[in-house]
Structures are given as C-alpha cells and as structure tokens.
Structure 1
Amino acid sequence: MKQTTQGKSGIKDVQNSCDERGIAIQKVGVSDVHLPFLIKTKSGSFQSVLAKIKLAVDLPQEFKGTHMSRFIEILSDWSQKPVSYREVEYMLTDTIDRLHAMRAHIDIHFKYFIEKAAPVSGLKSMLDYDCVFSAELVRGEQLDFMFGITVPFTSLCPCSKEISHYGAHNQRGTMRAKIKQLPGKFIWIEDLAAMMEEQGSCQVYALLKREDEKYVTEKAYENPKFVEDVLRDLVLTLRKIDGVEWFEVECENYESIHNHSAYAAHVECVEQ
C-alpha cells in the first residue's frame, strides 16, 4: 500500500512518499534559475554577475520526488557569497546534506567582464566573456570541477593573403575551452582568457581609436591563421597549464565571404 507522509505543518508530504516503479533518477532538481551571484576575481575582490543555474541531485528509486524548494533556498544562500572552486565544493556538500543525497551536480553560467586597454591609445573598456562553472560531487569523494570560457578573436585567412594582390579577408571568431584540473588546481578566469586571446590573428577590443584600429588591422595581416591554426595553437597552450587533466576546445570563424562558419574541435586527456 502506498503511504504519504506528513510534514511538520501536518500537510501531506507527497514527494516524500514511496514510489514502486523501481527507477532511480541520476539527476533531479531545478534549471534555468536566474540569480545574482558573486564571482571571485584574481584581484581578490568579487564581480557581481547574473547567473543561470542548474542544480540537481540523485534520487533513490524508493522516493517519489525531491524537495524542489530546498534547491532555491541553497542557491539563495550562496548567491550572497563570493564563489570560486572551493565555494562550489561547499555548495554541493551543503546540497547533498540538505537533500539527503549521495551525489550533486551544478552548472553556473554567467557573463564575466574583464577590463582591457586598447593596444596603442591605452584607453580602457570592459569586454564580456561567457563562462561556466560545472561540478559534480559524490558524498565522501573529491570534487569533479570543470571551468569553461568563450573568448572572441580576429582571424585573417592565410590563403586569401597568399593569392590576393592586396588585402585579405578576415573575420571575428570565438574559441571555447572547457578544462578539468586536478584536485587543488585552479586557473583564474583572467589568466585563461589572456592565454586564449593570444592564439588568434589578433585580439578583440570593445573600444578602439583610429590608431588602435590601424594596429589591429596590421597585426592580423601579419599573423594570418586558419581556424585549424587557432585550434592547434590553443591546444598547445592548454597543455602547458599546471594540473590540467582534461580539456575540450572548439574554434569557430564567422566567415566574412561565406554564408557559413569554419569550425574545428579537439578533446584531450593530458598525461601528468
């Protein structure tokens, strides 16, 4: 016979009742939760961002449902504290304890801003980067943490430069990296973004004066790269990061002379 428990208020607790279908669920929780979050910066302060979050736990086969309100309570509590690698671990530990689970998983997507100086004028402006913290924790085990970032860049086509009497077509592109580091290792968003930006034909800036525009145009022309070149140089760069266990990279050029994009991708486990 199915039984429905009662909570402290005397109201029936349906989700805590027994389920007889014999199916455990690997992930159950909340998604598309939008909250202000505080992200730790390399300078030691924090940046307030708008985060889109998915938080989930495992659910044993004997339980009908989980307690959805507790996920929001947890996220609301943690949205007031600066978050980085260690805080994500604490957050998932809190989730496991409060939901009586064995495993918890979180994805935190957010747009992060980094101040950049124009290459000649030195004028400063903010450039935005799409980032994600993705982590899973099993009770009693170490945190499995992944950090991802999307970085814009300019590329100039080597073939176009070689065959043209003057000029060469160029385009804006994006490179996306996801990295998993060994326990205790962590790279700051600012450092990874700077390393990645060096792999294109030229960097992208939010604010450019005429002297800056001249510089980036000529810099790209002197440094032509296919999307394959950008990807391979990015792979070599990520291999040098201390403690990287695994990474996945994608590069996409939004072609200026085609109605399609050029794309390349690579996944690698790094031997330590």
Structure 2
Amino acid sequence: MKQTAQGRNSIKDVQNSCDERGIAIQKVGVSDVHLPFLIKTKGGSFQTVLAKIKLTVDLPQEFKGTHMSRFIEILSDWSQKPVSYKEIEYMLTDTIDRLQAQRAHIDIHFKYFIEKTAPVSGFKSMLDYDCMFSGSLARCDHLDFMFGITVPFTSLCPCSKEISQYGAHNQRGIMRVKIKHQHGRFIWIEDLASLMEQQGSCQVYPLLKRADEKYVTEKAYENPKFVEDVLRDLVLALRQIDSVQWFEVECENYESIHNHSAYAAHTETVSR
C-alpha cells in the first residue's frame, strides 16, 4: 500500500506545466455531456430532463491545460439539484472557484414537457419543447443569461384562403425564441411557451378527438397568417414583457404545397 501511494503521488501532472506559446484560450472544457438534470417548473416542483451540456472556462496563456475531470464533478453535483436562472449563476461561480478561472460559460439543451388540454374534449396530453439555458459569468460580475425555446404552431395561408373556392392550405411551423432579461429577472418556460403559441393561426395539440380537430381546423381558417404575420405578432408580444432586454426570433413554415419552407427572422435590443 505504501508503494502504491508513493507511486500515485509521483505521477507527473503535465496539464499544470507551463506553456510558452503565449496564447490564452477563451473557452476550454467539456462538450456533449449527457446527464439527467432537474429543471424547476412554474408549479414549484421540478422536471427530470435529459440534458446535453457544454461547460467551459478561460485558460491563461501560461497554463498548458485545464482539469477536465473537475467539469464532470461539477456537473454531476449540480445534476441532483433543481436548476433555473439563479442556480446557473451558482453553478458558474462554483466552476470559476474550482477551476481557478476568471470566466465560465455553460450551454444546457433539453426537452421540456408541458401538459396541453384539447380545446373541446378536454383530454390532456404532454407536448415536448426544445429548450436551452445559456449563461456566462465573469468573476465578481453579474450573470449574462439567455433562455431559448422552440414552439410548434399551425398557420393558414391568407392568400390561399382569399383566392380558393374551397378551403385554404395550412401547415405546421415552428417559432424559435432566445431572450435575455434584466439581471435577476426571469420568465418561466410555461409562460413563454403559452405567449408564443398564441401568435400562430392555431396551437398544436398532441391529442385531438374529432370535435377538437373540427375546432382547430376552423380556428386556423378564421385566423390566417403568413410567416411574416406570425413573426411580427410575436415581436410585439415580446416587447410587452418588461424584463426583456434583448431577443432573437425565427419563424419557419414547413410548406404543404411547396418543397421548401417559408422563413422569417428578427433580432432586437429593447429600449425602455
């Protein structure tokens, strides 16, 4: 046992050796880490999700490498605690301290499930949303946090409705939103998803009975929108959230009568 311990202590730590090339690295760490994470819900509980994570720190020019195992230790510890805006800040502070860095950054991508109620039958089912948390923190500074979500919707073409004797073509689309808040402010995933869903011709539901199908078909027909209409309405809605400082919006219609998608995008820094 004594020889084993001595041998262990004599192992050379190459990553702590000096590098003489004079190049500091802005981000170094681990990527494509898959772990179960606990995401805080609006209802006060948490949802277990499968997260895909990238966690990095800065590396001064004099150091050859960083301590890769410490990133996994940090993520493993935090995967057992419900995470939202404030916990991201604590996690990055923990990373800066353990890695003796000046700045840390994290990206967390995950699927989040929200219960949807069919509009007529009242049947409940779960709809999945692609979400992301992204945070950057410098030592002794405030967290720079960004939250993103992708929401499906139905759109019905105003032009098709106007010129057709029977019906109008519709399609499923997606809205992608990324937002930054004032420091200390946050919007729940459930609230942002609901706000976004209201901007399409009609919402998407996982489970529909015949009465529900009739409702969503007629709802979309009564509310025709181009992809540009959906994007503009979404921009106006996001401007009404008083805590939002910046947002990026993309809308894409998977066209039913074309072999291409219709696309629109907008980025805005909100002046208060």
> In structure 1, how many angstroms separate the alpha carbons of the residues matched to 2:258 and 2:68?
47
> In structure 2, how many angstroms separate the alpha carbons of the residues matched to 1:243 and 1:43?
21
Work out whether 1:239 is the aligned partner of 2:239: yes
> In structure 1, how many angstroms separate the alpha carbons of the residues matched to 2:163 and 2:8?
77
- Which secondary structure does the structure 2 equivalent of 1:148 belong to? strand
- The correspondence of residues 28-47 of structure 1 with structure 2, limited to 5 A, is 28-47=28-47
The TM-score normalised by the length of structure 1 is 0.97
Which residue is equivalent to 2:230?
230
Which residue is equivalent to 1:64?
64
Work out whether 1:256 is the aligned partner of 2:256: yes
Is residue 125–residue 207 contact of structure 1 (8 Å, CA) maintained in 2? yes
Which residue is equivalent to 2:159?
159
| Counterpart amino acid of residue 190 in structure 1 | E
Which residue is equivalent to 1:76?
76
> In structure 2, how many angstroms separate the alpha carbons of the residues matched to 1:46 and 1:229?
35
Which residue is equivalent to 2:11?
11
Which residue is equivalent to 1:24?
24
- Which secondary structure does the structure 1 equivalent of 2:9 belong to? coil
Is residue 37–residue 79 contact of structure 1 (8 Å, CA) maintained in 2? yes
Give, in angstroms, the shift of residue 242 of structure 1: 2.2
1:23-43 Cα deviation digits (max 9, x unpaired) = 000000000000000000000
> In structure 2, how many angstroms separate the alpha carbons of the residues matched to 1:23 and 1:210?
64
Unaligned runs of 5+ in 1: 1-6
- The correspondence of residues 141-156 of structure 1 with structure 2, limited to 5 A, is 141-156=141-156
Give the 4+ runs in structure 1 shifted more than 3 A: none
> In structure 1, how many angstroms separate the alpha carbons of the residues matched to 2:245 and 2:103?
22
> In structure 2, how many angstroms separate the alpha carbons of the residues matched to 1:9 and 1:264?
59
Which residue is equivalent to 1:109?
109
| Counterpart amino acid of residue 60 in structure 1 | P
Give, in angstroms, the shift of residue 9 of structure 1: 2.6
Give, in angstroms, the shift of residue 243 of structure 1: 1.1
1:228-248 Cα deviation digits (max 9, x unpaired) = 000000000000112111000
Give, in angstroms, the shift of residue 8 of structure 1: 7.6
> In structure 2, how many angstroms separate the alpha carbons of the residues matched to 1:10 and 1:246?
52
> In structure 2, how many angstroms separate the alpha carbons of the residues matched to 1:265 and 1:12?
52
> In structure 2, how many angstroms separate the alpha carbons of the residues matched to 1:94 and 1:199?
39
The TM-score normalised by the length of structure 2 is 0.97
Which residue is equivalent to 1:4?
none
> In structure 2, how many angstroms separate the alpha carbons of the residues matched to 1:12 and 1:74?
24
> In structure 1, how many angstroms separate the alpha carbons of the residues matched to 2:253 and 2:214?
22
- The correspondence of residues 158-197 of structure 1 with structure 2, limited to 5 A, is 158-197=158-197
- Which secondary structure does the structure 2 equivalent of 1:66 belong to? coil
Unaligned runs of 5+ in 2: 1-6
Which residue is equivalent to 2:265?
265
Is residue 37–residue 50 contact of structure 1 (8 Å, CA) maintained in 2? yes
> In structure 2, how many angstroms separate the alpha carbons of the residues matched to 1:50 and 1:260?
31
> In structure 2, how many angstroms separate the alpha carbons of the residues matched to 1:39 and 1:94?
19
